[in-house]
Amino acid sequence: MANHLDLEEQEQLDQLKHFWNQYGNLITGLLIVVLGAFAAWNGYQYWQKRTAVQASAMFEEVDKVLRSGDLVLAERVFGDMKERFGSTVYAQQAGLSLAKLAYQGGKADLARGTLTWVGTSPADAAYAAIAKLRLAGIHIEAKEFDLASKVLGESYPASFSALVSDKKGDLLMAQGKGAEAIVEYRKAWAGLDARAEYRRLVSVKLGALGASETAAN
C-alpha cells in the first residue's frame, strides 16, 4: 500500500514538473505583470493623494494673496501653481478667483488669458464651463461679438445648457437682435430649476424685451 502511494505521489510530482516546465515562465511573467500593475496603481493613488494635499495647501496661500488684493503677486503665485499643480481643480479655482480680481482691477487681458486657461483645463468640466461663460461675458462687454460667439459655440456639460442659452441671449441682445435673444432667454428660463434665483433674472431680461417667459399659443 505504501509503495502504491509513493508511486502516485511520484507520478503527481512528475506531472507537476512537466506542467511547470511547460508553463512556468508564462505564469511567472503574468505574476510579474499583475504585481507590477498593482504596485503602479498603488503608487499612482499615493501620488494623486499627495499632489492633492500639496495643491490644497498652495491654494490656501494663493487665496490669501488674492484676498490681499495684490494683483502682481497674485499673478506670480498663480503662475507657480499652474506650473506645479496645473492638472488639479485647485488650480482652476485659483484661476477663476484671479480672473475676477484682474477684471475688477482693470486688467481685462489678464482676466481673459486666465479664463481661457481654466476653460481648457481637463481637471473639472464644470469649472471649465464657468470660466468659458465668464470669458464670453467679458467679450460681450467689450463688444467682441465674434469672440463671444466662438466661446459659446464650444462644448459644455449638459447641466450648463440653460446658462449657455442665457449668455447667448445676452450676446444677441448686445447685437440688437431682440427677437433672437428672446428665443434664447426662453430656453434658459425653461431649463433652469423653478427654485433657482437666477431664473428671476432671466424673467427680468425677457420683461425688458417686452416678452413673457413662454411664447403665446
User: Using H for helix, E for strand and C for coil, what is the string for 71-104?
Assistant: HHHHHHHHHHHHHHHCCCHHHHHHHHHHHHHHHH
Count of beta carbons in the 10 Å neighbourhood of residue 175: 15
DSSP 8: H
- Cell of residue 67, nine digits: 484676498
Q: Which residues 6+ apart lie within 8 Å of 108 measured at CB?
A: 102, 138, 142
Domain-wise residue ranges, the chain:
54-152, 157-217
Instruction: Name every residue whose Cβ is closer than 8 Å to that of residue 206 and which is 6 or more positions away in sequence.
Output: 182, 185, 186, 189, 212, 213
Model-level pTM? 0.74
Per-residue pLDDT of the chain (217 residues; tens, 9 = 90+): 445 546 566 666 666 666 667 666 766 666 666 655 555 545 545 445 565 566 667 777 777 878 877 888 889 888 988 889 888 998 999 999 999 999 999 999 999 999 999 999 999 999 999 999 999 999 999 999 999 999 999 999 999 999 999 999 999 999 999 999 999 999 999 999 988 899 999 999 999 999 998 875 4
Amino acid code (one letter) for 161: S
CATH class for domain 54-152?
A: mainly alpha
Which has the closest alpha carbon to 159: 122, 119, 128? Answer: 128
